[in-house]
Amino acid sequence: MAREREECIMNSRWSLKGKTALVTGGSRGIGAAIVEELAGFGATVHTCAIDEAELYEKLEDFKAKGFKVTGTVCDLASIKQRVELFETVSSHFNGKLDILVNCAAITKMRKANEYDHDEFSQIMQTNFESPYHLTQLCYPILKASGNNASIVFISSLAGTTALPALSIYGSSKAAINQLTKNMACEWAKDGIRVNSVSPWAVRTKAMKLEDIDP
């Protein structure tokens, strides 16, 4: 894999050398894998996570692999911390951002009639309102990067398929899918591509397959 990466970096079609990226939720799971791939193809990456110890441990891991990755402790449910994250990224990358990957998300597995208001609000705030607001904040620096910026929302098959105990999580991802379509239409003229990716369940710390009752 490392050799294939090096060959791709040498090929200008696939190389991300000189590109800048922000990946949310990059200390573990899918987010960490995305950070590693982007950095492995030559991008300079900034990431964020809510768990300080976990984040800095992962940053050391990235550093040991020779990747250009920095990070910020951030609770994306906080508007103030989102703004601070944006300001950090804008300053770090001199007012230009090539790639934004909205990966951070949470879920609580409940039957639809069992969620309380706080749980509903927390899931929707983290999974929908937060990536929308952060993307909105980053719009000027994505536009400033030139005619080839890219936004990727990490959605889920739960956003298109009814799954047990995931009604609110699935609803938040369905909202992301629609937001992606609208932003893609609105921002194409600014040279910004907007896409979403919908993985199935991945065995990470946040999602253990054995916890899902088929």
Tell me the pairing of strands 192-197 and 149-154: parallel
CATH superfamily of 2-202: NAD(P)-binding Rossmann-like Domain (3.40.50.720)
Distance CA 93, CA 24 (A): 16
- State the pTM of this model: 0.88
Count each helix (H run) and each strand (E run) in the chain, helices first: 7, 6
Q: Say if CB 124 and CB 172 are below 8 A apart.
A: yes
Which residues are CB-neighbours of 86 under 8 A, at least 6 positions away? 134, 137, 138
Give catalytic residue positions: 169
Give the pLDDT band (50/70/90) at residue 6.
Answer: low
Q: Kindly list the domain boundaries of the chain, sorted by start residue.
A: 2-202
* pLDDT tens profile 33-63: 999 999 999 999 999 999 999 999 999 999 9
